[in-house]
Amino acid sequence: MTGIKAFREAYMIAGTLDDAAYGDFDSRRVRYDILWSFFENTAYRNVHAWAIRYKTEYGLYKYTRNIYNPSYRLGEFYRTHLMGGALDPAAGSGLTAPTALPIVTENEQLRPALAALWRDSNWAFNKDIYGLWGAVMGDVGLRVIDDVERKKVYLKVVHAGTVKTVTTDDFGNIKGYAIEETRNDPRPGKTGKVAYGEIAERDGEDVVYRTLLDGKEWAWDGESAEWRVPYGFVPLVMVQHNNVGLSWGWSELYPCLSKIREVDDIAAKLSDQIRKMVDVPWLFIGMDKPKSQPLTRGDVARVSDMEPGREEIPALYVSNASASAQPLIAPLDITATVAHLTKMLEELEREYPELQMDIWASADRTSGRALRTARQRTTTKVSARRAMYNDGLTRAQSMAMAIGGWRKYAGYEGLGLDSFVAGKLAHTIGARPVFEPDPLDKIEEEKAFWDAALVAKNAGMPLTVYLARCGWPDGEIRAVTDSPEYQARMALMNAGVNGLGGGG
C-alpha cells in the first residue's frame, strides 16, 4: 500500500453535487490522517508528509502548534458519550441492571447470543473505539469475522482508511467492498511490508471472497485465494458520524477546522512573541562587543551543560556613537490579542455546546434544572449522532448472530441465516441518558412531581387521574391505590378528615 500522499486542499472539500474527490481512497486516507493528528495534537508537526504543504496552503505561521485545539476534548467526549459506560454482560434491557447498550427486542432468545457476541468481540472496550474513530475521522466500519478455526463470530472495528471501495444499495446495505491494509510479508524468506487486499462481492445468495498480495491474488490462509459463503449478505457495515448526504461522513471536527487553524496560528504567534520578550535581543550603541562573555551561574554551578547558551542574552553592538541600549522587540498588545483569542474560542463553543463548561457545573449548584437546561443542546446533538452508531451496530449484530447460528457456534442455538431473512433477529438499542444521572437531581424531580400532585389534588383532581395523565401504567397506579397508606387516607377522608391522597 502506498504511503500517505502530500496534502491538497481538495481532499478536505465535500461537494454536494460531485464528491468524487472527497470519497477517493487516497483523499480519504490523507483526510483521516490529518483529522487524527488534530486529535493527538501533532497536526502541524513536520513528521507528517503533508504538514508543510498543509501550513502553506492555509497561509499559516511557520511555527504554528496545536495550542487551543479542542479536537482531543471532542474526540474523548464522543468516545465516552456515544456508547460509553459498562455493559450488562447478559445484554439486558437496562430495566433491572444498568447498561451502556440496553437491548430492546421481543425475541428473548437474542440476549444470550448478544452476550456471547459481546464477550468474543471484547465489545466492552471496542465499542468506545467504534465511537472514537467515527467521531474523529467521520467514518468507521464494523466487520463480522467468521472465525471457523476457533468456532467464534465476533465484531471487528474497521479503520475507514483501509476500506478502498464500497458499493451499496439504496438502503445503505453493502453489496461489495475492497479492503487494503499493510501487513508483514507472509512469503517464506521474505521480510518487510506488503499490501493485503480483500475483495468481497455478492453473487446471488453467496458472498465471493478474493484475497490479494500487492494487487495479485494470494492465498493468505495457505489454501485458496478465492472462496464463497452462502451468507445472503456482505458482513460489513459502514457508519458515518455525521451524515450530510455524501458517500462518506463528516468528522465532528470537520466544520470547525478553519477556526481551529486560525486560533492555533494566532496563539502560536502570541506565545512566540512572549518568548521574544523574555529573551529579547539588545542593541548596544556606542560600545564595542566584549572579547569574552561574563561567567553565568551555569558556568559556575555546572548546571547548564545540557542547554548551553540558554542564559545568554542576545546582543548586537554598534560603536562610534553615543552610548545607549535598547531592546529589539516589536510592540504587541498582549491583552488585546488574548481578548481576540477568547472571542474566537467563545465562537467555537457556541457551535460546540459540548465544549461549554456550564454543561458540567451549573452556576447555581443547587439546581438540577439549570444543568439540564444547559445540557439540552448537547443532549439533542448526541442523540442524533447515536442514531447512526446504533443502526450500524444492530445491523452488524444481526449478521453476526445469523452466522453464529448457521455455523452452530456455542451461544447461538436456534438462530441461523433463515432467522435473518425472516426478521427474527430484529432488535434495537434503547434510550439511555447522555449524562450520568445525579441522585440529587432524581430527588429534586420526585419532589417537583409530588408537589404538582398536591396542587392537582387541591384543584379537585383525583390522584389516580393525575398519575394516569403523567403516563403511569395501570399496574403502578393500582400499587399506589392498593397500598395500606392510601387506603388509610381514603378512610380518613370518608370520615370527614382531609388527606393528601385525594379522591380515588
Per-residue pLDDT of 386-442, as tens digits, reads 999 999 999 999 999 999 999 999 999 999 999 999 999 999 999 898 887 766 667
Residue range 241-254: mean pLDDT, rounded: 93
Contact 411, 151 (CB under 8 A): no
Burial class (CB in 10 A: 0-12, 13-18, 19+), 38: buried
Residue 94 has pLDDT above 80, yes or no: yes
Q: What are phi and psi of 343, to 5 degrees?
A: -65, -40
Provide the grid cell at 196. 493485503
Which of 56-65, 152-161, 348-357, 368-377 is least confident? 368-377
- DSSP secondary structure string for all residues of 453-475: HHHHHHTT--HHHHHHHTT--HH
Domain-wise residue ranges, the chain: 1-140+248-277+334-434, 439-494
Say which amino acid occupies 188.
P
| % of the chain beyond a pLDDT of 70 | 83
For the chain, the straight-line distance linking the first and the last C-alpha, in angstroms and rounded, comes to 75
User: How far apart are the C-alpha atoms of 265 and 62, rounded to whole Å?
Assistant: 9
Residue 311 has pLDDT above 60, yes or no: no
Q: Is the dihedral of CA 335, 337, 338, 342 positive or negative?
A: positive
Please, which contacts does 11-18 make with residues 24 or more away whose CB atoms are closer than 8 Å? 12/257, 14/244, 14/246, 14/250, 16/244, 16/245, 16/246
List, in order, residues 6 or more apart from 240 with CB less than 8 Å away: 134, 138, 139, 248, 249, 250, 388
Number of Cβ within a 10 Å radius of residue 150: 10
pLDDT at 441: 65
Higher-confidence residue: 303 or 91?
Answer: 91
pLDDT at 312: 57
What is residue 104's three-state secondary structure?
strand
Say which amino acid occupies 466.
Y
- DSSP secondary structure string for all residues of 168-217: E-TTS-EEEEEEEEEEE--STT--SEEEEEEEEEEETTEEEEEEEETTEE
pLDDT at 492: 74
Provide the grid cell at 329. 522587540
For cell 451461544, what's the residue? 411
Residue 145 has pLDDT above 80, yes or no: yes
Higher-confidence residue: 96 or 287?
Answer: 96
Q: How confident is the model at residue 310 (pLDDT cuts 50, 70, 90)?
A: very low
User: How far apart are the C-alpha atoms of 22 and 10, rounded to whole Å?
Assistant: 7
Higher-confidence residue: 135 or 332?
Answer: 135
Q: How confident is the model at residue 91 (pLDDT cuts 50, 70, 90)?
A: very high
User: How far apart are the C-alpha atoms of 448 and 470, rounded to whole Å?
Assistant: 13
Whole-prediction pTM: 0.80
Which of 39-53, 70-84, 180-194, 288-302 is least confident? 288-302
